[in-house]
Amino acid sequence: MIYLELIYVFFKIGVFGFGGGYAMISLIQFEVVDHFHWMTMQEFADILAISQITPGPISINTATYVGFNTAGILGATVATLALCLPSVVLMLFVIRFLFANIENRYVQYVFSGLRPAIVGLIFAAALLLMNTENFPDAGIGKNNFSIVICAATFIASYFYKVNPVLLIVLAGACGFLISS
Amino acid sequence: MNIYFQLFKTFFEIGAFTIGGGYAMLSMVERSVVQKKKWMTKDDFWDMIVVVQTIPGVFAVNTALYTGYRIKGMKGAICAALGAIIPSFVIICLVAMFFVEIRDNTIVERIFKGIRPCVVALILAPALQMVKSAKITLKTAVIPIGAVFLVWWCDVSPVYVIVASALGGVLIGAYSYYRISSK
């Protein structure tokens, strides 16, 4: 049953999605692309781009998009709500019982392990996106135009903090002008 | 104006106008929740950020749930969360409806050929910034490198990496605490 699968996957992503949007990319990628084959790595890159240029969180956007493509509006609703459900439950629990102890020693310990692991997960997500679908012209003897865009974006974003929306628009314009 | 509707509207606006995800919306939430609506003090706001970052899930939704719950309990939480979710839900449904049809259009295809490698860099850049802010040292570098190796090379689910690193953090933390306190 597709609805149950959607609920299961996005509920799981909601439960284990520590560390915000970028950290959740690798979780979503693993389930949606690798495991259930609901979209290709290329489509996943496209939805990440669309998420960056439209308002709203990446995880909500992916849940809605995957749900819609696999099972229509109802699928989109089910997937999005399943993603948020763990937060609703946890939030009640946290506000009622844990709130006073949020700076608790054990919470600190958990995050001392999680924080570096999340950095690794984000790198893994980026590496998994570096495939021939997203870099079709990479290689010796080819024009490597995609590598140039990737490197230029990286420099502009990391060193000069250029707005990502602007970078995506520029990259799209370059793609339109140069690629065939 | 009804308080439930106000909660919904406030987070609807935040959801509709913040591009770039979680942290980009922080200042907007602060402006409307603390300065304009005076739903919480600045101290309460920072307490909320700590809680919201600690629990898993979508940052924007967690913030909405927390604020709504503080003001009007469970019903308030749901109204605020729906406000935060609905704008992106509607936008992405529209995108999903039309994108499938225009995706194979040659112009769109050419544009996205440029965008895909750009997106990869937009994920790499914050990851590298986090290497600094997560205070990763030569000794702890084994954790992110291990995570990359397991997920990228060995196809291990990130869920296992998250569970293992959290457990590892607790074990190492508790052990070093025990050693210090037993001296």
Count of A-B CB contacts under 8 Å: 347
Residues of B whose CB is below 8 A from A78: none
Q: Is residue A140 part of a domain?
A: no
Of the candidates B57, B74, B131, the beta carbon closest to that of A119 is on B131
Q: Is residue A50 part of a domain?
A: yes
Tokens 């406030």 locate to: B10
How many other CB atoms are there within 10 angstroms of residue A68's CB atom? 24
Q: Tell me the per-residue pLDDT of A7-23, one tens digit each, with 9 for 90 and over.
A: 999 999 999 998 777 88
Could you tell me the pLDDT band of residue A102, with boundaries at 50, 70 and 90? low
| Number of domains within chain A | 1
Which range of residues forms the domain containing residue A31? 2-104
CB–CB contact B118 A150 (8 Å):
yes
Share of chain A above pLDDT 90, in %: 49
Per-domain residue ranges of chain B = 3-102, 126-182
Q: Over 90: is that where the pLDDT of B91 sits?
A: yes
Question: Which of B159, B151, B125, B119 has the alpha carbon at shortest distance from A43?
Answer: B119
Test the B interface: residue of A30, A121, A146 with most B CBs within 10 Å: A121
Tokens 């050419």 locate to: B110
d(CA B33, CA B26): 10
d(CA A114, CA B134): 10
- Residue B80 corresponds to which tokens in the numbers above? 């605020």
CB–CB contact A116 B144 (8 Å):
yes
d(CA A75, CA B181): 53
Residues of A whose CB is below 8 A from B121: 149-154, 157
d(CA B64, CA B12): 10
Q: Tell me the per-residue pLDDT of B121-179, one tens digit each, with 9 for 90 and over.
A: 988 988 888 888 777 888 889 999 999 999 999 989 999 999 999 999 999 999 988 88
- Contact by Cβ (8 Å): B110, A83: no
Which helix (H) or strand (E) segment holds residue B72: the answer is helix B59-102
Mean pLDDT taken over chain B: 87
- Contact by Cβ (8 Å): B62, B50: no
Which phi and psi (to 5°) does residue A75 adopt?
-60, -40
d(CA B140, CA B134): 10
Residues of A whose CB is below 8 A from B131: 119
| B23 against B81, higher pLDDT | B81
Predicted-complex ipTM score: 0.86
d(CA A83, CA A64): 10
CB–CB contact B115 A64 (8 Å):
no
Share of chain A above pLDDT 70, in %: 94
Q: Is residue A32 part of a domain?
A: yes
| B30 against A154, higher pLDDT | A154
pLDDT value at residue A38: 93
Test the B interface: residue of A18, A22, A62, A91 with most B CBs within 10 Å: A91
d(CA B58, CA B6): 21
**Which of A23-27, A94-98, A128-132, B27-31 is the least confident region?**
A94-98
Q: Is residue A153 part of a domain?
A: no
